[in-house]
């Protein structure tokens, strides 16, 4: 019974961890590039899997050796999250600007000609595979930043070593469920509605990009002084 309560707590904390502001900003910005429901929600699932990997690779050895991750390493990981958020937001904003009006060159019957595309004229060029890898990478960096805390919580909550190991894995599973649920039931359905209108779709992407840059910049502003000290 005690182990069941501990594991249940791990799941709940994992779901709660998935809803941290920096996690939501990152995944919402990534999801804003997608127009369809399932592919958008799948990005949340991929983020959660990427988050679990460093928690297992780093958190489990910490539990095994009964060690804590040095605060400086956690600060560096958090700083990396801030830098990635700024980069992600900037790339999103640049892509919106480029897609609004751009010049394209076509070849038809050995004749080369070019023309401008305006809003509403879209080419089927969604690079979903690359976006999935980027999402996995973001989840990995976020997981690296939280692996030390997850290990500490596991050692404090679980009465045995085996229970602590299981706690870390279940905590990671909770983050997967939390992020998948967030994108499926909140972000993805909203995008499925607004993406029907090109202008609204662009506005959502701009807002997500600005939030990502602003939040990432705030993280850098608050963490960098401690790293340089």
Q: Pick the more confident residue, 100 or 198.
A: 198
Q: With 90 as the cut, is the pLDDT of residue 217 above it?
A: yes
- What are 11-47's pLDDT values in tens digits? 887 787 777 888 788 887 887 777 777 777 888 888 8
| Widest Cα–Cα separation across the chain | 75
Whole-number mean pLDDT of the chain? 76
- pLDDT exceeds 80 at position 95: yes
Q: Quote the number of domains for the chain.
A: 1
Question: 10: domain range?
Answer: 2-228
Q: What is the 3-state secondary structure (H, E, C) of 166-215?
A: HHHHHHHHHHHHHHHHHHHHHHHHHHHHHCCCHHHHHHHHHHHHHHHHHH
Condensed to tens digits (0 to 9), the pLDDT of residues 149-193 reads: 777 777 777 777 787 788 888 888 888 888 888 887 766 666 666
Report the pLDDT averaged over residues 211-226: 91
Q: What pTM, to 2 d.p., does this model score? A: 0.76
């Amino acid at each position: 019974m005690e182990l069941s309560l501990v594991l249940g707590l791990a799941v709940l904390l994992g779901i709660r961890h998935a809803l941290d502001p920096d996690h939501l900003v990152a995944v919402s910005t990534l999801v804003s590039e997608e127009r369809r429901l399932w592919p958008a929600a799948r990005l949340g699932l991929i983020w959660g899997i990427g988050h679990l990997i460093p928690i297992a690779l780093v958190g489990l050895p910490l539990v095994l050796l009964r060690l804590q991750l040095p605060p400086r390493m956690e600060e560096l990981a958090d700083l990396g999250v801030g830098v990635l958020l700024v980069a992600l937001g900037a790339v999103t904003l640049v892509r919106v600007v480029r897609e609004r009006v751009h010049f394209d060159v076509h070849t038809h019957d050995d004749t080369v000609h070019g023309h401008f595309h305006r809003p509403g004229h879209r080419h089927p060029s969604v690079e979903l595979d690359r976006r999935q890898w980027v999402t996995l990478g973001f989840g990995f960096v976020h997981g690296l930043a939280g692996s030390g805390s997850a290990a500490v919580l596991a050692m404090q909550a679980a009465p045995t070593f085996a229970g602590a190991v299981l706690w870390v894995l279940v905590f990671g599973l909770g983050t997967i469920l939390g992020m998948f649920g967030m994108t499926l039931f909140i972000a993805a359905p909203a995008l499925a509605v607004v993406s029907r209108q090109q202008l609204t779709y662009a506005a959502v992407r701009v807002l997500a990009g600005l939030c990502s840059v602003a939040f990432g910049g705030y993280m850098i502003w608050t963490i960098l002084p401690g790293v340089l000290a």
